[in-house]
Amino acid sequence: MLPKSTRILLAFLLALPAVGAWATDLVLNVPLRLESLPRGIARAKVVCQIYPDATQSLSLGSGMVVEPIDFRSGSLVTNASVRVNVRPEHRGMRPTYYTCRLFLLAPWATPPWQQPGPDAPDAALLPEPDTEFTGEVTGEIPQGIWARPPMPLAPEPPPGPL
């Protein structure tokens, strides 16, 4: 188990529009606060998926970001910006829900990217009892934050006979 002072927190703060040449549809800013992680865990990864509805049965797109963990203190405190794009085959659909998950790189584990939490298969990734822990967040995407409107799957046919 991790030391009593270990805290792992993943919280969705706010989705902000992205601008620029990357053609990113959405940027999810995810605050991370990881403290007192065991030596050897060198990186944290946040993976976000976007969905058209709350059932989350169809992923419209995804994105991820990897952040380094300070090896001296075993901590990471940052705002991870996850750039998310709608897949080309889903361009006509507007995502309304998201899920973001935290993974930690544990090189000794198989697979090496593991999701920490009370049910983690590796004891090094278990939070201490009575320690605040959130490893996955799900919610509704606020309206009006799109960097660009979704593109239709096909152009509209011109009016009139063909």
| CATH value at residue 110 | 2.60.40
The beta strands (E) that lie in 52-123 are given as 61-68, 76-86, 97-105, 113-114
Is 51 among the domain residues?
Answer: yes
Tokens of 145: 């934050």
| Secondary structure letter of residue 150 according to DSSP | P
* 25 belongs to a structural domain: yes
Q: Answer whether residue 162 shows pLDDT above 50.
A: no
Does a structural domain hold residue 26?
yes
Whether 85 is in a domain gets the answer: yes
CA–CA distance, 148 with 25 (Å, rounded to integer): 6
Asked whether residue 2 is domain-assigned, the answer is no
Predicted pLDDT at 63: 95
pLDDT at 9: 46
**Residues of the chain above pLDDT 90, percent:** 31
- 66-82, pLDDT tens digit by residue? 999 998 888 999 999 99
Give the three-class secondary structure for 124.
Answer: helix
In a domain, 119, yes or no: yes
Q: Which domain holds residue 25?
A: 7-140
Write out pLDDT tens, residues 125-155. 888 788 888 899 888 987 766 555 444 434 4
Tokens 């002072």 map to which residue? Answer: 5
Q: Is the pLDDT of residue 18 over 50?
A: no
Does 17 reside within a domain?
yes
Residue 15 · residue 28 · CB < 8 Å: yes
For the entire predicted model, the pTM comes to: 0.75
10 pLDDT band, cuts 50/70/90, is: very low
* 156 within a domain of the structure (yes/no): no
Give 1's pLDDT tier (boundaries 50, 70, 90): very low
Q: How many domains is the chain built from?
A: 1
Residues 75, 2 contacting (CB under 8 angstroms): no
Over range 104-125, report the average pLDDT: 90
Q: What is the mean pLDDT of the chain?
A: 78
